[in-house]
Structure 1
Amino acid sequence: MKLSILDQSPISVGKTAGEALEASMKLAQTGEKLGYERYWIAEHHDFPALACPAPEVMLGYIGANTTKIRIGSGAVLLPHYKPYKVAETYNLLATLFPNRIDLGIGRAPGGSAEATIALSNNYLEQVRNMPESTKELLQFLRNDFPSDHMFSKISASPLPVTLPQPWILGTGEKSAILAAENGTAYAFGHFMSDKDGENIVKSYVEHFQPTGILQGPKTIVAVSAICAETTERAEELALSGHLWKIQSGKGEETNGIPSIEEAKQYSYNHDEKEMIKKMSSKMIIGSPKEVKHQLLDIQAHYHADEIMIVTITHSYEDRACSYELIAEAFSL
């Protein structure tokens, strides 16, 4: 089974954004050495604990410091941008790093209402126009506008020998159908969705229409996982992310991903304890043997071509170790 990395570039308490971004680059290098298929970095805006608002910038840095692992966005939040500029940017990356670039496309705002307005005054309108924007972006990538179309006179230069691989990312039926109708690969955010993911992915496969990008459906399922030598240690590592999500949900100012010690000392009320149970049930937390079993189970239920793993821990070393233990368990 192919395994990949999704990185949200978390900033831990006591660390800086610069250190978080450096850790992201090192994580990509680690993933390459361990045999992971691809490394994607996410786009977030004005999140105090997440360091990357511009995947395209980080991909230039990461591409220059790796040699073979596929790298990409998870995802470019298309309603904020014009398709032409996105195509130019990812064609440039694909020219610099041939046959290695993935272009993940999403529709989420990626930040607060204020950040969304600062990025795009007409965000909701652009969300409604997502099917048209996606089609336009793909036409720029393929350079195949009809001769009578205004955009047939321009190209998203430079035109790489191997195009960026487009993926549509989502957590619901709309994204699945959009990917199927456009003949792109599809990545489902299992860790972000409470919906019936198996049927959503099945719907994508059943409705897939070849359009010259892929000959058949191609799927990734993204999951949240933490692996350690023992179950107890993995559960301990997960506490930091749990507390961060609780604090973020309450609108509390945080300096980043809290330490395990801070998470242990926090006074959780009844509702917060229930939230932790719910969050844990959506995650994969355990020893290498346990994590492998659960990942294989998810892959079997979804019939996914690939599993992509996002891991949040306070310690960057613990995060890298989690990916290493999983790679060893699967003999990557």
Structure 2
Amino acid sequence: MHASLDILKNIKFSVLDLVPVAQGNSALNSFHNSLELAKHVESLGFERFWISEHHNMENIVSSATSILIGYVAQGTSQIRVGSGGIMLPNHAPLVVAEQFGTLATLYPRRIDLGLGRAPGTDQETAAALRRNRQESPQDFPNNVQELQKYLSEENKNASVRAIPGEGLNIPLYLLGSSTFSAQLAATLGLNYAFASHFAPAYLHQALQIYKENFKASNQQNKAYAIACVNVIAADTDEEAERMATTLKQFALGIIRGVRKPIPAPVASMDNIWNEAEKHAIQQMMHYTFIGSENTIRESLSRFAEETQVDEIMVVSHIHNHEERLRSYEILSRLFN
């Protein structure tokens, strides 16, 4: 157990926030809660606080991602703040370079740029965002490299420049839920973050591909891997299991295509989901850690040993804001 305990003390812990809307709350409540959460986890020693881009959802209000990153960065002082991620196919690389160049100028050495290639929404909304532009598999790698060019010092003599942005060395992270971005991150010598909190199937394969194929780059000389997981911590296992019914209902909404604000916990899921839905959610939530401090320490230590990741990023869909703050406080004891 001592070896397991030590492994968590040698790993960085971070937070992914989708800026969820809990039942009975408004978008403004959610923005305020996210900032309060960021301040809270900063005081607890978490490494970074990322916000993810989603669109056309009643239960997630992180659509204007770069604006919210600025809001959180202004309200905090040390914690790194960034995107987990910006869905690059939704944006012109030049605009992303300018936005994050502006953020990195306002908040030096604190801004991360995580990039994804999913739409962050349904196909119809994706078409509205992308104006029905047809994409090929090579578009994402090309867009990443175009973005790198705008952020580089070498671009200062080009006819199209990102000002501010140029030469600011904003660290890039590629996000993925399959092996595609793992290979690309390795080839380009970038950091890599895997979305095991909702797509666990390829985690080990993707990490292996990334580490084995990593090529040193201007950004860094060795591989750096993050795995994102769900954590719901409470004083007792029973309390955490009760709180986790919110996450299960949220996941059920994804399966059913329903995007209502995240619901309060329930005593039992039995009358809410059917067996097929229950099985699908258990698969989706394979890397979900629910329980008291000791329960989570044991299971998360095993996860860290199996994956050998450099950092664990945590997302927590908890209905009650105070309980969400408390969950991160309990989690922080594992690495402090």
Fold shared by both chains (TM-score > 0.5) = yes
Q: Does 1:103 align with 2:113?
A: yes
Is the CA contact 1:80–1:123 (under 8 Å) kept in the aligned structure 2?
Answer: no
The equivalent of 1:31 in structure 2 is 41
State how 1:71-110 maps to structure 2 within 5 Å: 71-110=81-120
The equivalent of 1:284 in structure 2 is 289
Report the Cα distance in structure 1 between the residues aligned to 2:59 and 2:97, rounded to whole angstroms.
Answer: 29
Is the CA contact 2:21–2:60 (under 8 Å) kept in the aligned structure 1?
Answer: yes
Amino acid at match of 1:100: R
Amino acid at match of 1:308: M
Amino acid at match of 1:189: A
Deviations 1:111-133 (A, max 9, x none): 11111011003455165411111
Amino acid at match of 2:127: I
Report the Cα distance in structure 1 between the residues aligned to 2:62 and 2:154, rounded to whole angstroms.
Answer: 32
Report the Cα distance in structure 1 between the residues aligned to 2:243 and 2:185, rounded to whole angstroms.
Answer: 35
Is the CA contact 1:91–1:158 (under 8 Å) kept in the aligned structure 2?
Answer: yes
The equivalent of 2:256 in structure 1 is 250
Report the Cα distance in structure 2 between the residues aligned to 1:31 and 1:161, rounded to whole angstroms.
Answer: 30
Provide closer, same or farther for how the CA distance between residues 263 and 41 of structure 1 changes in structure 2, counting only shifts above 3 A: farther
Report the Cα distance in structure 2 between the residues aligned to 1:48 and 1:280, rounded to whole angstroms.
Answer: 22
Provide closer, same or farther for how the CA distance between residues 170 and 62 of structure 1 changes in structure 2, counting only shifts above 3 A: same
Q: Please list every run of 5 or more consecutive structure 2 residues that lacks an aligned counterpart in the other structure.
A: 1-10
| 1:190 Cα offset (Å) | 1.1
| 1:172 Cα offset (Å) | 1.3
Aligned positions, number: 326
| 1:146 Cα offset (Å) | 9.7
Q: Does 1:272 align with 2:282?
A: no
Q: Please list every run of 5 or more consecutive structure 1 residues that lacks an aligned counterpart in the other structure.
A: none
Is the CA contact 2:97–2:151 (under 8 Å) kept in the aligned structure 1?
Answer: yes
Report the Cα distance in structure 2 between the residues aligned to 1:220 and 1:202, rounded to whole angstroms.
Answer: 13
Match of 1:125 among 116, 129, 135: 135
| % identical aligned pairs | 33
Amino acid at match of 2:276: D
| 1:143 Cα offset (Å) | 3.4
Match of 2:241 among 235, 238, 248: 235
Deviations 1:25-57 (A, max 9, x none): 111111100000000011100111001102100
Is the CA contact 1:80–1:119 (under 8 Å) kept in the aligned structure 2?
Answer: yes
| TM-score between both structures, scaled by the size of structure 1 | 0.92
After superposition, the CA RMSD in angstroms is 2.0
Deviations 1:244-264 (A, max 9, x none): 22134223462x011114866
Report the Cα distance in structure 1 between the residues aligned to 2:141 and 2:161, rounded to whole angstroms.
Answer: 21
Q: Does 1:311 align with 2:321?
A: no
Tell me the SS of whatever aligns to 2:219: coil
Match of 1:197 among 195, 203, 218: 203
Report the Cα distance in structure 1 between the residues aligned to 2:209 and 2:277, rounded to whole angstroms.
Answer: 35
Report the Cα distance in structure 2 between the residues aligned to 1:112 and 1:224, rounded to whole angstroms.
Answer: 23
Moved more, 217-226 or 288-297: 288-297
Provide closer, same or farther for how the CA distance between residues 302 and 282 of structure 1 changes in structure 2, counting only shifts above 3 A: closer
Q: Does 1:3 align with 2:8?
A: no
Report the Cα distance in structure 1 between the residues aligned to 2:208 and 2:275, rounded to whole angstroms.
Answer: 37
Q: Does 1:211 align with 2:251?
A: no
The equivalent of 1:143 in structure 2 is 153
Provide closer, same or farther for how the CA distance between residues 123 and 309 of structure 1 changes in structure 2, counting only shifts above 3 A: farther
| 1:185 Cα offset (Å) | 0.6
Match of 2:329 among 320, 324, 329: 324
Report the Cα distance in structure 2 between the residues aligned to 1:328 and 1:158, rounded to whole angstroms.
Answer: 39
Match of 2:56 among 46, 69, 73: 46
Deviations 1:141-194 (A, max 9, x none): 1132496xxxx1232112477421110010111100111111111111111223
